[in-house]
Structure 1
């Protein structure tokens, strides 16, 4: 089943979804925000562009396709992203492993050892 390529929002976006805040060669994901169902390059872009606070995906919604690879535009489920080892499951492009430190800003982690 093919998923349509989502529109990515953010500040100073590159074709790989890097933004004004995160722009290393590994900063190539965008995350759909629970609060508004819009894909943003990062939470800082969301907060700069929206007037509402960011929401966190509940742990019972891990099958939601909510993370897009900026290299190939594959949309990963939350479970797929959390288990991918910082690489796209479709094209193998590397994601920033430091993003794990921010997972709690986007996803309910239920004491899984990662805090936002």
Structure 2
């Protein structure tokens, strides 16, 4: 009888530990954030870069999703490809996205009046 109680206690402990591990695991559907990000006067090697309308360059390093919330007029993939999502600056309605293939540069002139709100670097 003692071995049955010990077996049940160990089983209960194993189930509790497994449940804790599953609840602490990251959700595979959630987006991974890209880090670090910084302003510079140029696009550094290996970065995904978006050029602000004031001339500064937002450098994004790493893979995943990063927030933006401003107007940009140019994009450069100095490494991996990435995608920039836009929304209407007046009403916030989703507008679409622009893909920037690896090792290319893209003018965002057609997105004037659109607010860039997210970028995803693909690795």
Common topology (TM > 0.5): no
What TM-score, normalized by structure 1, do the two folds share? 0.23
Say which one has the larger Rg.
2
What TM-score, normalized by structure 2, do the two folds share? 0.23
